[in-house]
A and B are shown apart, each in its own frame.
Chain A
């Protein structure tokens, strides 16, 4: 099967998954107690105004009808209005999502090479001192919640050793580059603003690092396990016996098959960093989507809640496909099975 056909097939399936998710979250948002119209207008608004708004929002129609109306609007890019920001939710999404996406991507760029390096070395030198240190680090990294790292980072860098900024996206005095993608590093580059780019990168380091600790720990552990398992395989011994240099055997013959389990959890890791980004965004004062979603929940901003969940869902679906494509590239066994089905 051609890779494009494979992607098309996966995209097609994802549509159903996303439809299911939207039905679920939509229903949930409509059956929770509390009248969205009343919430939107506040406790002092007269009843007739509330009734009018209920009519306008189709809240008196049966649920399936409401869902179809919502879906039709959503497909046109209209996700309703936010009762908190008083703006169209789609606008909010465009403002806040890129900022989070940027942070999560930056954390991926940091964590993947580090995880590969740490995991490969630990696996290669299993039970060495280095491996034991990594083991402890992994346990701690997986067990300790993100906010602890964030607080620690604030303490270290905000209080003891002030070399990195701990708040926001840019330092005071640096002009914001014009918004084009919503990802400030890209926007700064597009505008040719080196000062803003570098300053923004510095602002990303701490939140992205805190986001990465758990991922590095998890991914390095999986790679280590893969390496230890594959190191015993005959094909490694065979490659050595043909006189292929040990370095090459380790870097290709061993690494490629060992990466597979690690890559498969990357999609999950990415999605959970996205979903869990509100903690980091709140602590580091990052105007991102996680924080937006959190506010939406707390304020029962239903349109915004539904939209947040759907966007994260789409993000997750797309990354899953990307990861599956990478895995199909790494592992021909999957490609062969895919062709057979």
Chain B
């Protein structure tokens, strides 16, 4: 295994809301190596975006991080000065937001926004012309036609697919080491979503950066990443090399999750996992999955399982395998 880029260790994140405290992240363990491609899957609300926002240090104002560390090349992001994290945002890590329409400012042109990102991504003093050149170049990279015109457009004038590509372009500008893609293309139709994912895959390959890809399109994820994390209610419950995870999932949640995906070969009606994600104000003690688990044992209600290796880079957090 090569050098680590990001190592999240025992990360807890709570959200303070009117009704109480949402205990969302519950000791997350996560690693991405240099130039590694990692997938992250899990049902809606399990904390994928929260984990990634912690890495960029852009959690909402009501978020609290009571415990944990996020190491970037060995230094803790959570303890960095404002300047240090700012440099990482400008030069190393960037995120493609889940909803491209919401992530683009409606009252500025694409050019204004993209050129601003370019301006701050480098210490060079670029002229307006140079910034424009770079903007056009990156728009071409994401295969947008007529970049000159797009620079003058406001987001509202563009289609969903184009907005998504623009968000990718903005992220590319400063993603020299890691690109975090949070469900890119989810609200686009399936063919375009597929194109977008392939585009991201190609760009990451060309640029030699790491990627964390969050997606529900399991079929495409399979082809794009080396390793996949499975997340449930604020915990990573299983991680394995892609092939192994899809062929031999062992955590009861992962097994259930794969069953909910209709088989491409047809016929099967998705068999949903019974129950739903727990209430984060009063989450179950012990393993957060036990109320939905067919194999729940007495220990599952008392103790929280931690990720343990079962060999070959395959880890699982489940007492069935201890």
Interface residues of A (CB under 8 A from B): 232-235, 237-245, 248, 252-253, 256-257, 260, 330-333, 336
- Contact between chains at A242 and B156 (CB < 8 Å): no
Residue of B nearest to A239 (CB): B105
- Contact between chains at A245 and B120 (CB < 8 Å): yes
Q: A235-B106, A241-B95 are in contact. List 9 more A-B contacts (CB 8 A).
A: A234-B99, A235-B102, A239-B105, A242-B117, A243-B117, A257-B105, A332-B106, A332-B154, A333-B156
What is the bound-complex CA distance between A253 and B107, given in angstroms?
8
Distance from A324 Cβ to chain B, minimum over Cβ atoms (Å): 16
- Contact between chains at B89 and A235 (CB < 8 Å): no
- State whether the Cβ of B150 lies closer than 8 Å to any Cβ in chain A: no
Which of A235, A244, A260 contacts B103 (CB under 8 A)? A235
- Contact between chains at A253 and B108 (CB < 8 Å): yes
What is the bound-complex CA distance between A36 and B89, given in angstroms?
76
What is the bound-complex CA distance between A234 and B117, given in angstroms?
15
Within 8 Å CB of A331, what residues of B?
106-107
Interface of A is mostly: helix
- Contact between chains at A243 and B105 (CB < 8 Å): no
- State whether the Cβ of B186 lies closer than 8 Å to any Cβ in chain A: no
Residue of B nearest to A331 (CB): B107
What is the bound-complex CA distance between A232 and B60, given in angstroms?
8
What is the bound-complex CA distance between A71 and B156, given in angstroms?
45
- State whether the Cβ of B116 lies closer than 8 Å to any Cβ in chain A: yes
Q: Which of B105-162 contact A (CB under 8 A)?
A: 105-109, 113, 116-117, 120-121, 154, 156-157
Within 8 Å CB of B91, what residues of A?
243
- Contact between chains at A333 and B121 (CB < 8 Å): no
- State whether the Cβ of B94 lies closer than 8 Å to any Cβ in chain A: yes
Residue of A nearest to B112 (CB): A252
Residue of B nearest to A252 (CB): B108
Residue of B nearest to A240 (CB): B58
Which of A232, A233, A242, A248 contacts B174 (CB under 8 A)? A242
- Contact between chains at A238 and B174 (CB < 8 Å): no
What is the bound-complex CA distance between A331 and B155, given in angstroms?
12
- Contact between chains at A257 and B107 (CB < 8 Å): yes
- Contact between chains at B89 and A241 (CB < 8 Å): yes
Which of B97, B121, B157 contacts A243 (CB under 8 A)? B121
Residue of A nearest to B180 (CB): A241
Q: Which of B204-220 contact A (CB under 8 A)?
A: none
Residue of B nearest to A332 (CB): B154
- Contact between chains at A336 and B94 (CB < 8 Å): no
Interface string of B155-172 (1 = CB under 8 A from A): 011000000000100110
Within 8 Å CB of B170, what residues of A?
238, 242
Within 8 Å CB of B60, what residues of A?
232
- Contact between chains at A333 and B106 (CB < 8 Å): yes
What is the bound-complex CA distance between A14 and B2, given in angstroms?
71
What is the bound-complex CA distance between A241 and B178, given in angstroms?
13
Residue of A nearest to B118 (CB): A242
- Contact between chains at B154 and A233 (CB < 8 Å): no
Distance from B102 Cβ to chain A, minimum over Cβ atoms (Å): 4
Within 8 Å CB of A239, what residues of B?
105, 113, 116
- State whether the Cβ of B4 lies closer than 8 Å to any Cβ in chain A: no
Which of B102, B108, B120, B157 contacts A242 (CB under 8 A)? B120
- State whether the Cβ of B37 lies closer than 8 Å to any Cβ in chain A: no
Chosen A-B contacts, 8 in total, with CB atoms closer than 8 Å, are A234-B99, A242-B90, A242-B117, A242-B174, A260-B107, A331-B107, A332-B156, A336-B154
- Contact between chains at A256 and B107 (CB < 8 Å): yes
Which of B104, B121, B154 contacts A235 (CB under 8 A)? B104
- Contact between chains at B108 and A237 (CB < 8 Å): no
- State whether the Cβ of B86 lies closer than 8 Å to any Cβ in chain A: yes
- Contact between chains at B94 and A242 (CB < 8 Å): yes
What is the bound-complex CA distance between A163 and B174, given in angstroms?
57
- State whether the Cβ of B56 lies closer than 8 Å to any Cβ in chain A: yes
- State whether the Cβ of B233 lies closer than 8 Å to any Cβ in chain A: no
- Contact between chains at A241 and B58 (CB < 8 Å): yes
Distance from A224 Cβ to chain B, minimum over Cβ atoms (Å): 16
Residue of B nearest to A245 (CB): B120
